[in-house]
């Protein structure tokens, strides 16, 4: 880039730098930081990982201080020192409580070392030093205290890319897949390194490269070589590569006559395949599997079970220390097996508790349907105490307005993680369940929102969802607001007023989406296929549980899905204490009321309003919140670079229109069924229902 353009872009940011901007610090903060890092000293031996840490510290300090400090290996006053436990004298080491850091954690501490005052980044491992370096830079950039200590609560912190080998991305709203499969392995995009840096800065330590709706060719030698090239870039950053596998791979590659998991030839094929992969990628992470769900092949095709399928793959990976992440999102083709799709995962998996091999995790979506704006936590959490359950969140916003609407997912993630399962004594939260999984494996997965768009995530604010996922995977007890504030400080400004305003918008944004799309526990009301826009009226799809009407059950008499004993009794899948609460609409939280109950329109809410009034007021509130975000952002214009401000303002304008569309279309539809007049003072929808029913969104992205 020519200097003039560099200068132009310093003013106008394009978002590529993510939260790792390392913007120049204001004067006082700069002097303070400078005193903590007059030199950067590596006592740990050189390795690709400590090289990465040193390079990142140089980069970060150069950005924040205006020039990079000298590096060396002589400890002096004011040095920032990278050292493993083994590199430190006993006295210092014993003062650090490094045992708590485990194999990946770190301790950041001011101390005396070799008679000098230094700032120590200490860990038991090279990757701990890298994580510690990122943590130190994060604190410096956001103005947090530099001293801290931390270790990850979960072992596997993994992105799930739903990226296809043709570079389309299922439910991707940030351009094409960043994996340029055709160019790999010979041509390695410089961007892969920045991807590794960004993930390592959060502690993400695994990436599933391809879509769970996987292609057999992904396991061909050509694609293994491509994956190996990526693994080579990621390795210094502590990121292991995983692949989604199609259960019928050997059959489709015509190398076996069946894909039956109990067939010896099939088992031998998978063993050979695993051996082959590990020859190319010695630290390969393992397989992610979507089986017998939405048309994908699986063990049930051969009258075998999930256990048979998962354990076969686990046996192939076990000698290499690889893991199987077997998804519980099952959803049978050709008709529902139960009266309620929400019940299927529990029904299929609960009986297998304790029967999976030790290197299998069952990966469970946060809720029982499919990443809706709000779902109650999945009833499997807490219900399989003898099986490691791994959380699956969706970072990409399939159902929350793609990358065009702002919706900070931190509160959604936190709401699920903090939920009380009422299992155990004392009762376990969902985060507890993840963390206390039996055996050695624990984990959290996030369906990535990363693409080839210059700003990575399609919008600047969608970067925060990647960030929040990573921070919560490291610490599932993290606070969504604190994470937003930390992100805003690094991404936009350390200024208290600015970051406060940004955080305020973020914290309301997801609730705004819930309000204008699916308030009070409504769910699955979106358009068919692309999942954009309101379509509560859809009732003609082949499977009953593909239709919005299946979920909201809007009728003359009322609205909502009865999941109590008088209905599908899905509540019985929860712990008894919780099931008892949910059995009664009066003790069911209003935010999920219609998820569990079918109630008359004149049902009296806590506010004193009828359900009908309350429902409409939520839609109105959502529209208001979207408009408020627009106004709040407009007021931030002086504090944000012009480009990111304009790009975000355009999206917020579109979001306000989208909110209005949802509100109007849903109210028009509900009214057409309920036959009720609008409460006084409520604006009628801009058009009649027919107008909304006729809207089409050709070529909406993300269908994959």
Sequence-distant (≥ 6) Cβ neighbours of residue 298 within 8 angstroms: 247, 291, 292, 306, 309
Q: What is the rounded distance in angstroms from the CA atom of residue 359 to the CA atom of residue 310?
A: 9
- Is 28 among the residues that bind its own copies (CB under 8 A)? no
Please report, as residue ranges, which positions from 338 to 397 form the binding site for its own copies (by CB under 8 A): none
Q: d(Cα 433, Cα 382) in Å, to the nearest integer?
A: 6
Q: List, in sequence order, every residue forming a beta bridge with 670; answer none if it has no partner.
A: none
The closest alpha carbon to 503, from 472, 461, 537, belongs to: 461
Give the count of beta carbons closer than 10 Å to the beta carbon of residue 152: 21
Binding of residue 9 to its own copies (CB under 8 A): yes
The span of 16-24, 87-95, 357-365, 468-476 binding its own copies (CB under 8 A) equals: 16-24
Q: What is the CA radius of gyration of the chain?
A: 26
Complex with its own copies: residue 21 or 624, whichever CB lies closer: 21
Question: Which residues from 402-421 bind its own copies, rule CB under 8 A?
Answer: 402, 404
Considering the candidates 12, 166, 275, 294, report the single residue annotated as catalytic.
294
Cα–Cα distance, 199 to 227 (Å, whole number):
17
Contact 323, 156 (CB under 8 A): yes
Distant-in-sequence, close-in-space partners of 378: CB < 8 Å, separation ≥ 6 = 328, 345, 364, 365, 366, 367, 368
Structural element, H or E, at residue 123:
strand 116-123
The site for its own copies, by CB under 8 A, has a size of 62
Contact call for residue 27 and its own copies (CB under 8 A): no
Residues 154-213 contacting its own copies, CB under 8 A = 164-168, 173, 175-176, 180-183, 186-188, 190-191
562 tagged catalytic: no
The least distance separating its own copies from the CB of residue 638, rounded to whole angstroms, comes to 20
- Give the nearer residue to its own copies in terms of CB position, either 9 or 591: 9
Cα 596 from chain centre:
26
* Nearest residue (CB) to its own copies, 137 versus 318: 137
Residue 513 CB, nearest approach to its own copies (Å): 18
Q: How far is CA 112 from CA 41, 99, 116, 415, 593, in A?
A: 14, 20, 5, 42, 58
Q: Which stretch binds its own copies (CB under 8 A): 12-20, 352-360, 418-426, 507-515?
A: 12-20
Instruction: Tell me 522's DSSP state.
Output: -
Catalytic residue among 126, 163, 340, 370: 370
Q: Is 499 in contact with 491 (CB distance < 8 Å)?
A: no
> Would you say 464 and 491 are in contact if contact means Cβ atoms under 8 Å apart?
yes
Q: How far is the CB of 15 from its own copies (least distance, A)?
A: 9
Whichever of 303 and 696 has its CB closer to its own copies, that residue is: 696
Which has the closest alpha carbon to 238: 134, 389, 317, 319?
Answer: 134
Strands of the sheet with 116-123, listed across from one edge: 70-72, 39-42, 79-84, 116-123, 106-113, 148-150
Annotated catalytic residue 398: yes
CB of 138 to its own copies, least distance (A): 14
Among 6, 28, 606, 680, contact with its own copies (rule: CB under 8 A): 6
Determine, following the binding rule CB under 8 A, whether residue 8 of this chain makes contact with its own copies.
yes
Q: Which is nearer to its own copies, 450 or 583 (CB)?
A: 450
Other Cβ atoms within 10 Å of 189 Cβ, number = 16
The Cα 434–Cα 385 span in angstroms is 10
Q: Which of residues 47-86 bind its own copies (CB under 8 A)?
A: 59-60, 62-63, 66, 68
| 22/302 with CB nearer its own copies | 22
Contact region with its own copies (CB under 8 A), list: 17-25, 123-131, 281-289, 584-592: 17-25
Query: How many C-beta atoms surround the C-beta of residue 225 within 10 A?
Result: 14
**Least distance CB 181 / its own copies (angstroms):** 6
Strand partners, 244: 288
Nearer to its own copies, 218 or 384 (CB): 218
Restricting to residues 603-662, which ones interact with its own copies according to CB under 8 A? 643, 647, 650-651, 653-654, 657
Q: What is the DSSP letter of 173?
A: -
Are residues 221 and 120 in contact, defined by beta-carbon separation less than 8 angstroms?
Answer: no
> 13 an active-site residue?
no
| Per-residue contact flags (x/-) with its own copies for residues 211 to 230, judged by CB under 8 A | ----x-x--x-x--------
Residues that bind its own copies (CB under 8 A): 1-10, 12-14, 16-17, 21-24, 59-60, 62-63, 66, 68, 164-168, 173, 175-176, 180-183, 186-188, 190-191, 215, 217, 220, 222, 402, 404, 452-454, 643, 647, 650-651, 653-654, 657, 698-701
Query: Would you name the residues annotated as active-site residues?
Result: 294, 370, 398
């Amino acid at each position: 880039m020519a200097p003039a353009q560099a200068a132009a872009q310093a003013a106008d940011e394009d978002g590529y730098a993510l939260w790792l901007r390392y913007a120049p610090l204001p004067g006082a903060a700069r002097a303070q930081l400078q005193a903590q890092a007059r030199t950067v000293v590596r006592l740990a031996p050189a390795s690709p990982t400590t090289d990465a840490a040193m390079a990142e510290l140089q980069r970060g300090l150069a950005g924040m201080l205006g020039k990079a400090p000298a590096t060396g290996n002589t400890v002096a006053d004011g040095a920032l020192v990278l050292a493993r436990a083994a590199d430190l004298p006993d006295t210092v080491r014993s003062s650090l409580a490094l045992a708590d850091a485990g194999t990946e954690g770190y301790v950041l501490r001011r101390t005396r070392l070799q008679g000098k005052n230094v700032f120590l980044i200490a860990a038991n491992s090279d990757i701990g030093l890298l994580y510690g370096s990122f943590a130190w830079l994060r604190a410096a950039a956001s103005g947090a205290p530099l001293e801290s200590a931390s270790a990850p609560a979960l072992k596997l912190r993994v992105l799930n890319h739903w990226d296809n080998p043709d570079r389309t991305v299922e439910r991707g709203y940030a351009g094409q897949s960043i994996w340029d499969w055709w160019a790999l392995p010979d041509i390695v995009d410089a961007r892969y390194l920045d991807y590794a840096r960004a993930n390592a800065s959060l502690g993400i330590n695994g990436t599933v490269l391809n879509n769970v709706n996987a292609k057999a060719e992904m396991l061909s030698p050509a694609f293994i070589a491509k994956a190996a090239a990526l693994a080579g870039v990621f390795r210094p950053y502590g990121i292991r590569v995983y692949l989604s596998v199609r259960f019928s791979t050997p059959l489709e590659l015509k190398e076996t006559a069946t894909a039956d998991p109990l067939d010896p030839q099939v088992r031998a094929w998978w063993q050979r395949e695993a051996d082959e992969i590990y020859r190319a990628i010695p630290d390969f992470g393992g397989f992610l599997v979507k089986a017998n769900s939405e048309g994908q092949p699986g063990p049930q095709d051969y009258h075998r079970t999930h256990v048979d399928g998962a354990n076969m793959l686990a046996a192939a990976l076990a000698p290499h220390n690889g893991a199987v992440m077997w998804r519980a999102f099952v959803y049978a083709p050709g008709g529902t097996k139960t009266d309620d799709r929400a019940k299927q995962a529990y029904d299929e998996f609960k009986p297998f508790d304790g029967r999976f091999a030790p290197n299998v995790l069952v990966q469970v979506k946060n809720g029982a349907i499919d990443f809706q704006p709000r779902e109650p936590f999945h009833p499997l959490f807490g219900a399989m105490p003898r099986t490691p359950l791994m959380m699956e969140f969706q970072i990409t916003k399939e159902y929350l307005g793609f990358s065009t609407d702002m919706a900070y997912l931190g509160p959604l993630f936190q709401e699920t993680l903090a939920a009380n399962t009422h299992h155990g004594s004392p009762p376990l939260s969902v985060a507890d369940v993840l963390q206390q999984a039996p055996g050695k494996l624990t984990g959290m997965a996030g369906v990535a929102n990363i693409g080839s768009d210059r700003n990575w995530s399609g919008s600047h604010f969608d970067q925060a969802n990647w960030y929040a996922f990573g921070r919560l995977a490291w610490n599932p007890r993290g606070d969504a607001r604190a994470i937003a504030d930390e992100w805003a400080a690094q991404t936009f400004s350390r200024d208290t007023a600015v970051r406060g305003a940004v955080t305020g918008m973020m914290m309301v944004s997801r609730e705004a989406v819930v309000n204008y799309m699916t308030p009070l526990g409504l769910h699955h009301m979106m358009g068919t296929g692309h999942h954009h826009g309101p379509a509560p009226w859809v009732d003609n799809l082949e499977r009953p549980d593909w239709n919005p009407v299946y979920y909201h059950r809007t009728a003359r008499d009322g609205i909502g899905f009865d999941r109590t004993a008088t209905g599908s009794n899905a509540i019985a899948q929860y712990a008894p204490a919780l099931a008892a609460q949910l059995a009664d609409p009066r003790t069911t939280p209003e935010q999920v009321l219609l998820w569990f109950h079918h109630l008359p329109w004149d049902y009296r809410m806590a506010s004193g309003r009828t359900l009908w009034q309350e429902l409409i007021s939520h839609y109105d509130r959502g529209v208001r919140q979207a408009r408020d975000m627009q106004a709040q952002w407009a007021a931030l214009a002086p504090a944000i670079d012009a480009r990111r401000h304009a790009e975000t303002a355009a999206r917020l304008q579109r979001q306000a229109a989208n909110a209005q569309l949802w509100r109007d279309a849903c109210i028009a539809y509900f009214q057409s069924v309920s036959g009720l007049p609008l409460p006084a003072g409520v604006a009628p929808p801009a058009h009649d229902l027919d107008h909304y029913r006729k809207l089409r969104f050709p070529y909406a992205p993300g269908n994959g």
